[in-house]
Structure 1
Amino acid sequence: MHRSVRPSRVAAAARCGAVMGGLAMLVAPVRADSASRLTPLLDAAAQRLQVAEPVAAYKWNQHGAIEDPARVQQELAELGDEADAEHVDRDYVTRIFGDQIGATEAIEYSRFADWKLNPASAPADSPDLSASRSAIDAFNRTMLTQISANWNLLHSPECAAQRDAARSGVIRARQLDGLYQKALSSATQSYCQQ
Structure 2
Amino acid sequence: MTLPVLYPLRSTSSATVRFTNAPHGRRRVTIDHRPLAGVTPAMLLDWFTHLDGTLTYGGQTVPRYLAWHPLDHIRWELARPAPGGGAAEGARFRIVEAFGGNPAYRIDIVDRVEKLDETGIRLVTRIAGVVVVMLEHTWSACDEGTHYVSVMDLGARSAVMRPVNALLRRRFPDDMARAWVRHNIEEVGQLEHLLPRLASAEMAAGRTA
Using structure 2 for the length normalisation, give the TM-score. 0.28
Using structure 1 for the length normalisation, give the TM-score. 0.30
- Comparing both structures, which one devotes a greater share of its residues to strand? 2
The structure showing larger relative contact order (alpha-carbon pairs under 8 Å, at least 6 residues apart) is: 1
